Structure 1
Amino acid sequence: MAVDYYAVLKLTRNANQEDVKKAYKRLAMKWHPDKNPVDHKEAEAKFKQVCEAYDVLSDPQKRQIYDVYGEEGLNDEVEFDVAAPPPPPRRSEPDDIFNEFFEDQNSWQRAFKKTCNGGGGSGRSQKSGGGKKAAAVESKLACSLEDLYKGARRKMRISRTVPDNFGKSKTVEETLKIDIKPGWKKGTKITFPEKGNQEPGSSAADLIFVVDEKPHDVFKRDGNDLVVDHKLTLLEALTGTFINLTTLDGRVLPIPVRNIINPGYEEVIPNEGMPISKDPTKKGNLRIKFDVVFPSKLSAQQRSDLRRVLGEVDN
């Protein structure tokens, strides 16, 4: 069940950073395991939950993602595209959070490390395996323009080698979830920390998926804009026409063309381009580039009529 971090700290959603700090300080001191020797296990569980809530709500990036996507948004992936929201840093350990907040209270630091790690030492170094970290492994994630427009979820089944309890390599399989966010661009990176291969005595490599955009039959992407090439007859270019264009989310967009189409002319439809990843409620433009198809031949009567009509227009 998803945890309501605001409820954990007994805060409303419009609480400011000072409110978050005060609530954490009060509850962390209340539920610290060393302050509750009788109900030690219950206190430790509540203390860790308080630390986790503070870790998210005290960080503007994490808090913004949590407010929009909930706890799942903090767990699924980290996204490094410069045009997208900054990635949330990895979750901190409760002792790190407490130590940073109460950095001048060394006895509390030692007490909590002893409580959580069974007598000292850093739990994090035990999980990471120590040693140097292997180079990250990158793999392409092919996405259709529709996926990048509407968003999508992918499940990627991976196989990797890790050392067993005796230091011998074994193969493990795992399914990773990737939530493709509307507006992501080619080159966006989704990082799964330590989900690559691991050698004995070293930390596992990070696994990175890099978004690759598939070509589309109708649309081309130009930043946040979508570009469409459309052919017109000479008659349509001079007298106007009506275009029905099917968008990437399946809507039929009626577009009247009333202007005379000159060479290089573009019809611009605001807010019908790609979603902007920083704010998916906003979109770029749809730009229609026209190619006027001239007739291959004209009869003598047609030439005469054109001279008469266009001559009258010129006069």
Structure 2
Amino acid sequence: MDAQGKTVVLFACFGVRPEPWLAAFDQTAPDFDWRVWPDSGAKEEVDYVVVWAQPDGFLRQFPNLRAVLCIGAGVDRILQDSDLPDVPIARMRDAGLTQGMVEFVLARVLHYHRLMPAYEAQQREGVWRQLAAPLAGERTVGILGLGQLGGACATRLAANGFSVRGWSRTPKDLPGVAAFDGPIEVFLEPCEVVVCLLPLTPATRGVLNARTLSHLSGASLINVGRGAHLVEADLIPALDAGHLSNATLDVFATEPLPAGHPFWSDPRITVTPHASALTPPGTAGPTIVANIRRHLAGEALLDLVDRDAGY
């Protein structure tokens, strides 16, 4: 709290332009004292930190910190902090973020479903040949992770007529989605398109690897979870072996993807720069403000992170 008694909120989102966020915050909470790192002012005055991609140990420097609010749905970077303060952490649940992810996943599934990679290859060769695509109900799409984003994507794909399977750590009940919580290898076998939207935890790190990918046959992979879900060295061998036909990767072990990385030049792989669902400040800003007001009123934050579960 500052000298005037205002709640101090620090925006510390590394690699994110603060101006659109500050505009959204100022519209909904002009009564707060908004600060942008590194201009935090007196560190003991900071009540809340809105964070993304913070350095290790960053949050510990604010002795009176009351809570941390992430602008993304994934909080693995926060939880990996070796000196994390014992305060509540809220992940982002925002309609705009969810809509963006649904649009991206639907677009990529339709791209593969309607055989666009084959048509693009034919165009490069100057070949005119019609290819028969199955109906959506004859195409099996598997969604790894049925949380906020995965569940929304699975529901939309089912509404578009696809045969949708969903895998999660605990059983889920979603309309039109066959839910599984058993061995991932068994889940993957019938899938023709696989979408990864798992949270990153010790149990899911490297879940897409040579062994699990070998249970697929000519499938398309869409990874919009975290780069560490995929053992990157196993991807091109899986493509060469025919377990996969194509892959869309939006997340990587090292970001930005280094120049000269083989993924850049492989025509079977589509690279996007962690842009599948950017959090829109216009909708997410008021969501953050409402959550802070809730906490100030003595209520628990919404979308609290379970540190033991890892999300």
TM range (shorter): under 0.3
Higher relative contact order (CA closer than 8 Å, sequence separation 6+): 2
The structure with more radius of gyration:
1
Greater fraction of residues in strand: 1
TM-score after normalising by structure 2: 0.20
